[in-house]
Amino acid sequence: MILIALGANLPTELYGTPIKSLLAAVEHLAGIGEVLSRSRWYKSAPVPVSDQPDFINGVISLRTELPPEKLLLHIHKIEHEFGRQRGVKNEARVLDLDLIDYDGQVVETEIIQLPHPRMQARGFVLLPLRDIAPTWVHPVSGQTVDELIAKLPGGEPCTPAE
């Protein structure tokens, strides 16, 4: 299963609200493979806490023939098309796409790290992930998505946005 996390907390000129931008991003991702499922959208505060607007987040599962590194390049291209400029870490953004898992592969190169190295600490990834893959198991730790959610700190609320 290929899993991609989506997030946004700024509107775009082309699509408008973060939710509309995320829906458009899902359509763009469908251009590089088949979107098999999409979670609900979740609302979460920025991490670390700041005066930025809240984020809208979700996860999709995708089927594609692209290998992981090429898929990541396409993901970055989509972000760029939406106006994403990579700069300051944890800044507000019009679109954030993260390759979370690629068929359980464990990869660590200069270009890509799979599974995503911080996913297990992010409720805004794990809660939507559970929506579409409730039996998913972390390829390194062997923990289920529910076990990872149970370990999350309580101070980062993430609630359904729809």
Which residues are annotated as catalytic? 84, 93, 96, 98
Beta bridge partners of residue 120, listed in sequence order: none
d(CA 143, CA 29): 28
Tell me whether residue 35 is exposed, middle or buried, using C-beta atoms within 10 angstroms of its C-beta: 0 to 12, 13 to 18, 19 or more: middle
First to last CA, the chain: 25
Name residue, tokens 């992930």: 129
**Region of residue 68 (phi > 0: left; psi between -120 and 50: alpha; otherwise: beta):** alpha
